[in-house]
Structure formats: structure tokens, C-alpha cells
């Protein structure tokens, strides 16, 4: 009978971070910690009387990673400081840093008490929604580097990347919308106040009061009819120049007509005008645009390759290491790249053992060994020790940059609903103008007043405001609901395309698999404590992913390793604690052919002092929701698999996906792009679900590209949407909700047409006065907002998204 012993049994919960404690736990001060890092943070807080941190939320901390002091040396560079700091006068400086790991009220409390941990910090304020902290400090006492190191030691390492120095939080377009909505709202409220004499029916004895308020209303209407309406005029005129009638043309006509009629009545003293209705109309139209813009402008999809690179890099000259901004890196410079750092430019290896993880570029998980003199391309991550390279191309000319620019070249058309609204508007506007002219001419010979009322009433009541508002409010609400569920969509056009998808294509690495989800167990004779120490010590010296999983599973003491060797594709060997250890393939470890393997399992054999002791069974970390997602989607969609990895796991994938699923392995970025193109050539609408830059071509050229990311702040630039890894299981519900949202928009269209039909029925008979028509315009807008928002939220609640 084969014996099985798990290497990762939970023995408690960490007092600081709440993670399960596996293996050897750290007992300190009557509390249990999962690692020495959590214990150190607790000691720091305890010494400074800040343990109230733990009273606000239970186990609120983040598990801190080891802080390498040299990693932040570039923050001493004056050029870097000038770009990062908000203010600096030689004594006081302030900086705003992004802290993605902020997650609870305890985090806020601790981060706003940094002054008790560093005497140089004068104040610190947290913006929880933006996950940022603004720190002011005395430059004579502390430094930017010291502040960043303090935050990192507490488990809140700032997200410092090259593009963060040049990023603008609010676009010019969004800022302009804010100004316009503010002006329209101000004028709307005050124009209603000035219209009270009309609402209350003030008698003729107060004619002076009515005239004064009418002129004030006219003044309020001028900025609304000009500045706030400018985009509608531009859009309408631009369409006419191209001989296209879009939905903004009848809106622009309605605005001009409302203001012109109002101005004529006020200046001639024949009436009070309808400025309040005009301001209300623009307020709701702009509110729809702001609502939509604010929803998806929270995340910037127009990122450059610099989003993935650090701000500075270590250079070496004459044996002296210095840090320089990445923008100053030039060809011929010698750079130092340490473990887990990204190679920022195409460079040649000069010194050290390079094991480059190109999964960011190719999708292949196994690191690639490089020899001296070999080229290493930008985007690769060094997984071994420090290496030295000579820059062969500048950052802007690297392979990664070319790959990025190629992927940014394509564009996807606007959604069909926008096209539908423009098509409807084209014929709708022509029909309304014709009808208004015909009705006016019909009444003109018998009653001029009725003819005028009928003509203006038709044009005002038939303004397609409801059509213009239904799309942004319905799909804008959908965007926000998506965001609450960890799904961040680029724009409303993506939702429209999602509703028509027929084929779903998955990448494997990092999409179907969970990077930190692999598990390991040992099968065979029981390893003694000494043997476990030796095995873990040898495994942790290897950069192979399987060795890393084994080392992480064996939470035992790390010993010095002598005579370490690693044979690519075979295994690793070394001596630790006086024991000779070999870990790898059956042949390498001295075993005969093993038993039949379980799908989705890799076996790593182990021998100690020449005696085979058994094997480690490593189960790859496929997401637990994968089978459920496939099962729920299989009845509506066709599937495809595009992976940069080898075909070793084809049997397991075939057991998950239905028969006939197209599977392609060892796919380069261009291969994935071509595969998606071939599916589209067959008339299929393709949804690509992937991660990493290697999927960017496929994501860009698919009908919808979704990037799965464990950190939603990092994603492929060509994605249409970002799906948080934790929300992967909701993918079927998200696709179904997209289809429902489109149905809500169509229902809003139907309501708008019914409203216009009823209004036109009275208008053509001259029974609908311009005053009533002007009141019905904002009333219909309010109704559409309520119906669209309520219906969308009800649909989301039924699907479990609210």
C-alpha cells in the first residue's frame, strides 16, 4: 500500500495577516505568526503603542515581503524625486503614492499614524477609494526612500512604475463635462426658482416681477444654450458635413428652438419662455454623459509599455553601482538586474546565471536559461540571482515596445446600438421636420396661433432626448454593476459586443490556472525531519516552477547547499546537512517507470543518499471555478484553447471541455492572433479570455478581449475589459447580464417611441402648447433615467450580481 503524507497541513491562523499557518509556526508574545515578517511588523507596532490596529479589524495585516534596501536606491535620484513629489521646498516635501494593498479600516488607521513610526513624517492622509496615501515629511529628518521603505516593511509597498510619473488622474474631456454639468445644474435650479411667478399664476399687477424674472432666466439660458450645448452642435454639424444625420442633430434643433422661442417671447413681452425646461433638458443629457464617463474613466486603458517597468534601473560603471531613471538609459550602458526584476531593454548577458521567465511575453511558464553573450529581450523577468547586461537597444526600440505598438494598431468599431440610434435618428429627424412643416401649413390658413403651437410643439416634444439618455444610463449602470463584481469594462460598446458572442477562447497559463494555486503532496516512505530540511534546501535553490512549489510546500529549515547542480529538463542535485539529494525525473532520481499518472499532475521523484524515497505529486493550480464556468457556458457557446505552454496537459483539458473544442499549444503571440482571425473568417464572433502581453494580439483582434488579472491595476493594454481573478467564476453571469442590459436598452427605445407617439398625437391637432411640450421633455428624460436604472438593477439582482 502506498503511503501518502501531506506537506502543507494548517496548524493555526496568523495573528497579523490571518493566513493559515503551515508547517513550523512562529510563536511570539503569546501569539502565532505565519512567518518572521508578520512577527516583525507586530513588534514594530507593539513598540510604538500602535496595537489598536488589531482592535479595529480582526487579522487586518498584509504579509510583508522581504525588503531589499538597494531596490529603492533610485528614489534618492533628484530627477526621480522631482517627477514623483507633489511639492518640495528644501525643507518640506509631499508625495502621493498608490497602495494597492489597502483593504480595511485598520489599514487607514495605521497609515494615518505613520508619524509615530518615523519622526520625519508630519502628516499622512489615505484616500481609500483611490487606494492612495498623501504623505508630507521633513526632508531634513527623513527621505522619500525612507518613507517608501517604511510602507513596504509594513506590508504596504507602493506601486511605483515608470508611467506613474506622467499619469493624469482626470482627462481634459472629463473635466470639461464636470464644468458643463455644474453650469447646467446651477442654471436649472435657479431658472426654476425664477419661474415661480409662472408656476404660481401671479396676476397682472405683478407684471414687473414677472419681467425681471424672465430676463434673469434669459441670462441663465445663454451659457446653457451655448457652452453646455457646444458638443451637440459640433456633432450635428460634423454629421451634416459628412452627409450623415446622427442623433445629436434633432437634439441640437430642439435646443435652438427652445432657446430661440424663449428669447423671442421674453424680449417681445409675449410670454415667459421655457428656459427652465431648456436647462433641465441639458442637465439630464450631460448627466448621462458624466455618469457613463465617470464609470469607466476610473481605469486608464490607454497605458503604454512603461506601465510594466520600474521607474529606475541600476547601472554599473567602474565597479560602482548607481541608479538612473529608465528614461535616461541608453545603448552601451551596463545594467544590473536582480531576482524577480524585469529586463527593461534588449540587452546582452555579460555576467551571472540568467534564467529568464518570458511568460509575460510568450506565456511559457518555465524559465529559459541564457549563456554569456546571448541576447535577452525586454519584458523577461530574471528568476535567479543578480545578472549584469549591456544595453543593446534603447527602451523605446526594444522588442517589447515593437510588440506593444503592433498590438495597439487595431481598433474596434462602435456598438450597434450607437449605429441603431444614429440610423433611427436619421429617418426620425426627417420625418419629424416633414410632419411639423405639414401640420404648420395645414393650420396656417385658419389659425396662425394654432399653426405656431403645432409646429413648435411637434419639434419640441419629438426631440429624441430619451433615445440619447437611455443608452448611457442603462449601460452606464451596467458598467458600475460589472465593476462591483470585479469586472471592469472599457466602454458601453463592449457590452453590446459581448451580447453577440458565439465563441469563447481561453488562454491557459494565468487564465484557467491560478498562479498561486498549485498543491503538492509526497508519496512513498516518510521523510525524516532532517531529510525534509535537506530536500527543501536543495529545491529552493532551483528556479524551476516545480521546485519552487515543492520548496513552498516544505515549510522546514533552510540549510546551506554544497555542490548544487541543475540539469535542464532533468532535475537538481546537491548536498545539504550532510545528505545527498536528487530531485527530478524518474531517471534522474534513479527510479524505474512509475505508476500511471493522474491528469493535471506532475511527478517529481526524490532520492536521498542514492536511495529512492518516493515522489512529489504536484497538482497544477487550475481555478476551482473552471469546470463550473465551462459547464454553464457549453450550451450557448463554442470553445477554444490557445496556450503558450506545451501540450502536456491536453488530456486534462479534454476532460474539462466538450468534444470538438479546438486546442492549440506552443502558441506565440502572432499565432494566437492568427488563430482568432481564422475563427472570425468563419463568421464567428470571438470572445478571447487571456492574460499577459503574449495574449495582447488575440485580445485586440477578437470581438471582445477580456484580461484576467490577480491585480486589476495591471493588465494587457489591448483588453476591452479586466476580470479580477477572484471573479472568474462569475463569467457566465456577466455574459448573461450583458445580454439582459441590451434588452433593457431596446425596451427604453420602445418607451421613447411610445412617448413621442402620444405627444405627437396631441401636437398635430394643435392641442399641445409649447409650454406643456417643454415640460414633457425633461419629464420624459427623468422617466427614462428611472426606468433604465431600475430595470438594470433588478436584472442584476436576479442574476446574483447585486
| Residue 540 belongs to domain with CATH number | 3.40.1110.10
Tell me the average pLDDT of the chain.
Answer: 77
CB count in 10 Å sphere of residue 266: 21
pLDDT tens figures, 34-54 = 766 677 778 878 887 877 777
The yes-or-no verdict on residue 397 having pLDDT over 70 is: no
Residue among 692, 365, 713, 695 at smallest CA distance from 518? 365
Domain identity same for 552 and 677: no
Higher local confidence (pLDDT), 594 or 743: 743
Considering the domain architecture, whether residues 544 and 689 belong to the same structural domain is answered as no
Q: What is the DSSP string of 106-142?
A: HHHHHHTTGGGT-TTEEEEEEETTTTEEEEEEETTT-
Same domain, 484 and 581: no
Q: Determine, yes or no, domain membership for 548.
A: yes
Q: Where is pLDDT greater, at 391 or 83?
A: 391
Cβ–Cβ < 8 Å for 504, 689: yes
Lowest mean pLDDT among 573-577, 634-638, 680-684: 573-577
Confirm whether 798 is domain-assigned.
Answer: no
On whether both 609 and 632 belong to a single domain, the answer is no
- Of 721, 739, 757, which residue is a domain's last? 739
When mean pLDDT is compared across 220-224, 516-520, 691-695, 772-776, the lowest value belongs to 772-776
Q: Is 453 exposed, middle or buried (0-12, 13-18, 19+ CB in 10 A)?
A: buried
Task: Confirm whether 60 is domain-assigned.
Answer: no
CA distance 797 to 755: 28
Q: Which comes out higher in pLDDT, residue 576 or 540? A: 576
**DSSP letter for each residue of 350-363:** EES-EEEE-TTTT-
Of residues 190 and 8, more confidently modeled: 190
CATH code assigned at 105: 3.30.70.100
Asked whether residue 646 falls in the same domain as residue 712, the answer is yes
pLDDT tops 50 at residue 692: yes
Number of neighbours of residue 642 by Cβ within 10 angstroms:
26
Question: What is the rounded average pLDDT of the residues 714-718?
Answer: 55
Inter-residue contact 613 to 527 (CB < 8 Å): yes
CATH code of the domain in which 500 resides: 3.40.50.1000
Are residues 599 and 628 both part of a single domain? no
Say yes or no to pLDDT of 545 above 70: no
How high is the pLDDT of residue 476? Answer: 78
- Determine, yes or no, domain membership for 64: no
Looking at per-residue confidence, does 640 or 747 come out higher?
Answer: 640
| CA–CA gap between residue 642 and residue 675 (Å, rounded) | 8
Looking at 129, 160, 191, which one is the last position of a domain?
160
Q: What is the pLDDT of residues 428-486, one digit of tens each?
A: 777 777 887 888 888 888 877 777 767 766 766 666 666 666 777 788 788 888 888 88
Nearest Cα neighbor of 547 from 594, 606, 491, 493 is 606
Measured from the Cβ of residue 525, the count of other Cβ atoms closer than 10 Å reads 15
List, for residues 342-366, the tens digit of each pLDDT value.
888 888 898 877 878 766 555 555 5
Quick one: 199 and 281 in the same domain? yes
Q: Is the pLDDT of residue 501 over 90?
A: yes
Whether residue 313 is found in the same domain as residue 363: yes
Domain with 12 in it? 5-45
Least confident residue range of 322-336, 592-606, 671-685: 592-606
Nearest to 625 by CA among 715, 705, 513: 513
pLDDT band at 708 (very low <50, low <70, confident <90, very high): confident
pLDDT band with cut points at 50, 70 and 90 for residue 285:
confident
Judgement on whether residues 459 and 484 belong to the same structural domain of the protein: no
**Given a cut of 60, is residue 382 above it in pLDDT?**
yes
CATH number (domain holding residue 338):
2.70.150.10
Is residue 102 in a domain? yes
Looking at residues 652-678, what average pLDDT do you find? Answer: 88
Whether the pLDDT of residue 410 is over 50: the answer is no
Last residue of a domain, one of 160, 190, 205: 160
210 and 287 in a common domain = yes
| Average pLDDT of the segment spanning 607-623 | 83
Bigger pLDDT: 558 vs 369? 369
Instruction: Let me know if residue 393 belongs to a domain.
Output: yes
Per the domain annotation, does 143 fall within a domain? yes
Q: By mean pLDDT, which of 211-220, 404-413, 518-527, 662-671 is the weakest?
A: 404-413
Q: Which residue has the cell 428652438?
A: 257
Pair 79, 138: CB distance under 8 Å: no
Query: In the 3-class helix/strand/coil scheme, how is 49-105 assigned residue by residue?
Result: CCCCHHHHCCCCCCCCCCCCHHHHHHHHCHHHHHHHEEEECCCEEEEEEECCCCCCH
Once rounded to an integer, what is the mean pLDDT over residues 395-422?
57
Q: How many domains does the chain have?
A: 6
pLDDT at residue 413, rounded to an integer: 52
Q: How far apart are CA 378 and CA 401, in angstroms?
A: 8
693 and 643 in a common domain = yes
Question: For residue 24, what pLDDT band results from cuts at 50, 70 and 90?
Answer: low
Together in a domain, 442 and 379: no
Residues 6+ apart with CB under 8 A from 154: 41, 44, 62, 64, 110, 117
The pLDDT, as a whole number, for residue 395 is 72
pLDDT level of residue 9 (50, 70, 90 thresholds): very low
Q: How confident is the model at residue 731 (pLDDT cuts 50, 70, 90)?
A: very high
* Eight-state DSSP code of residue 244: -
**What is the model's pTM?**
0.58
In a domain, 648, yes or no: yes
| pLDDT computed for residue 639 by the predictor | 96
3-state secondary structure of 576: strand
Q: Give the whole-angstrom CA distance, residue 465 versus residue 790.
A: 19
Q: Tell me the β-bridge partners of 138.
A: 92
**Whole-number percent of the chain with pLDDT over 90:** 11
pLDDT digits (tens, 9 = 90+) for 113-168: 888 888 899 989 888 767 789 999 999 999 998 998 888 888 888 877 655 555 44
Q: How many residues does the chain have?
A: 802
* pLDDT, greater one: 64 or 323: 323
Which pLDDT tens digit goes with each residue over 624-650? 889 999 999 999 999 999 987 667 678
Q: What is the mean pLDDT of residues 206-234?
A: 85
Amino acid at each position: 500500500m502506498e503511503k501518502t503524507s501531506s506537506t502543507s497541513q494548517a496548524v493555526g491562523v496568523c495573528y497579523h495577516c490571518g493566513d493559515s499557518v503551515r508547517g513550523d509556526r512562529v510563536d511570539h508574545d503569546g501569539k502565532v505568526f505565519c512567518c518572521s515578517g508578520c512577527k516583525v511588523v507586530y513588534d514594530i507596532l507593539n513598540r510604538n503603542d500602535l496595537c489598536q490596529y488589531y482592535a479595529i479589524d480582526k487579522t487586518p495585516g498584509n504579509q510583508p515581503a522581504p525588503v531589499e534596501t538597494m531596490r529603492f536606491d533610485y528614489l534618492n535620484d533628484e530627477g526621480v524625486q522631482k517627477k514623483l513629489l507633489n511639492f518640495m521646498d528644501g525643507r518640506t516635501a509631499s508625495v502621493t503614492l498608490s497602495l494597492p494593498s489597502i483593504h480595511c479600516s485598520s489599514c487607514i488607521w495605521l497609515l494615518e499614524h505613520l508619524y509615530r513610526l518615523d519622526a520625519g513624517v508630519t502628516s499622512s492622509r489615505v484616500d481609500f477609494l483611490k487606494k492612495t496615501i498623501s504623505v508630507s515629511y521633513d526632508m531634513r529628518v527623513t527621505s522619500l526612500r525612507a518613507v517608501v521603505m517604511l510602507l513596504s516593511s509594513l506590508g504596504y509597498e507602493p506601486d511605483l512604475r515608470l508611467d506613474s510619473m506622467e499619469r493624469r488622474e482626470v482627462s481634459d474631456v472629463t473635466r470639461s463635462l464636470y464644468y458643463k454639468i455644474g453650469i447646467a445644474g446651477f442654471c436649472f435650479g435657479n431658472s426654476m426658482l425664477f419661474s415661480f411667478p409662472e408656476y404660481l399664476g401671479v396676476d397682472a399687477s405683478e407684471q414687473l416681477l414677472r419681467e425681471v424674472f424672465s430676463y434673469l432666466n434669459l441670462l441663465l439660458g445663454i451659457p446653457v444654450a451655448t457652452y453646455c450645448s457646444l458638443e451637440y452642435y459640433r456633432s450635428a454639424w460634423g454629421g451634416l458635413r459628412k452627409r450623415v444625420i446622427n442623433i445629436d442633430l434633432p437634439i441640437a434643433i430642439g435646443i435652438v428652438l427652445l432657446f430661440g422661442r424663449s428669447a423671442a417671447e421674453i424680449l417681445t413681452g409675449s410670454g415667459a419662455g421655457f428656459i427652465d425646461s431648456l436647462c433641465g433638458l441639458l442637465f439630464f443629457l450631460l448627466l448621462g454623459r458624466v455618469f457613463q464617463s465617470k464609470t469607466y474613466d476610473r481605469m486608464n486603458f490607454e497605458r503604454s509599455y512603461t506601465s510594466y517597468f520600474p521607474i529606475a534601473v541600476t547601472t554599473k560603471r567602474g565597479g560602482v553601482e548607481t541608479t538612473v531613471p529608465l528614461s535616461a538609459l541608453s545603448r552601451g550602458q551596463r545594467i544590473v538586474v536582480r531576482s524577480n526584476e524585469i529586463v527593461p531593454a534588449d540587452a546582452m548577458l555579460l555576467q551571472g546565471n540568467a534564467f529568464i521567465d518570458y511568460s509575460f511575453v510568450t506565456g511559457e511558464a518555465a524559465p529559459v536559461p541564457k549563456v554569456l553573450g546571448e541576447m535577452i529581450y525586454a519584458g523577461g523577468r530574471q528568476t535567479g540571482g543578480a545578472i549584469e547586461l549591456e544595453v543593446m537597444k534603447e527602451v523605446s526600440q526594444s522588442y517589447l515596445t515593437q510588440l506593444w505598438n503592433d498590438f495597439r494598431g487595431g481598433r474596434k468599431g462602435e456598438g450597434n446600438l450607437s449605429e441603431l440610434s444614429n440610423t433611427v435618428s436619421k429617418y426620425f429627424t426627417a420625418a419629424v421636420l416633414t410632419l411639423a412643416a405639414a401640420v404648420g401649413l395645414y393650420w396656417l390658413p385658419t389659425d396662425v396661433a394654432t399653426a405656431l403651437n403645432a409646429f413648435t410643439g411637434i419639434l419640441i416634444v419629438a426631440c429624441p432626448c430619451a433615445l440619447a439618455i437611455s443608452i448611457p444610463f442603462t449601460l452606464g449602470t451596467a458598467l458600475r454593476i460589472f465593476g462591483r463584481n470585479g469586472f471592469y469594462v472599457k466602454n458601453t460598446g463592449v457590452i453590446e459586443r459581448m451580447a453577440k458572442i458565439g465563441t469563447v477562447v481561453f488562454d491557459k497559463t494565468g487564465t484557467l490556472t491560478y498562479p498561486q494555486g498549485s498543491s503538492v503532496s509526497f508519496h512513498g516512505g516518510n521523510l525524516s525531519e532532517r531529510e525534509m530540511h535537506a530536500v527543501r534546501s536543495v529545491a529552493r535553490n532551483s528556479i524551476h516552477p516545480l521546485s519552487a512549489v515543492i520548496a513552498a510546500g516544505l515549510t522546514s529549515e533552510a540549510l546551506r547547499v554544497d555542490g548544487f547542480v541543475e540539469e535542464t529538463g532533468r532535475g537538481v542535485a546537491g548536498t545539504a546537512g550532510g545528505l545527498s539529494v536528487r530531485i527530478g525525473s524518474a531517471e534522474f532520481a534513479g527510479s524505474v517507470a512509475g505508476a500511471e499518472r493522474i491528469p493535471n499532475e506532475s511527478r517529481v521523484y526524490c532520492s536521498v543518499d542514492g536511495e529512492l524515497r518516493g515522489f512529489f505529486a504536484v497538482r497544477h493550480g487550475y481555478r476551482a471555478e473552471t469546470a463550473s464556468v465551462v459547464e454553464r457556458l457549453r450550451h450557448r457557446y463554442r470553445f477554444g484553447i490557445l496556450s503558450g505552454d506545451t501540450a502536456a496537459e491536453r488530456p486534462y483539458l479534454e476532460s474539462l471541455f466538450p468534444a470538438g473544442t479546438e486546442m492549440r499549444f506552443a502558441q506565440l503571440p502572432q499565432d494566437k492572433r492568427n488563430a482568432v482571425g481564422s475563427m472570425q473568417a468563419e463568421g464567428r464572433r470571438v470572445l478571447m479570455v487571456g492574460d499577459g502581453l503574449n495574449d495582447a494580439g488575440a485580445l485586440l483582434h477578437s470581438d471582445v478581449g477580456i484580461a484576467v488579472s490577480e491585480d486589476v491595476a495591471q493588465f494587457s493594454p489591448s483588453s476591452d475589459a479586466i476580470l479580477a481573478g477572484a471573479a472568474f467564476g462569475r463569467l457566465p453571469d456577466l455574459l448573461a447580464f450583458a445580454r439582459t442590459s441590451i434588452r433593457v436598452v431596446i425596451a427604453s427605445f420602445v418607451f421613447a417611441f411610445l412617448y413621442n407617439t402620444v405627444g405627437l398625437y396631441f401636437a398635430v391637432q394643435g392641442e399641445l402648447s409649447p409650454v406643456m411640450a417643454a415640460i414633457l421633455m425633461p419629464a420624459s428624460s427623468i422617466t427614462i433615467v428611472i426606468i433604465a436604472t431600475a430595470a438594470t438593477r433588478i436584472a442584476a439582482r436576479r442574476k446574483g450580481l447585486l
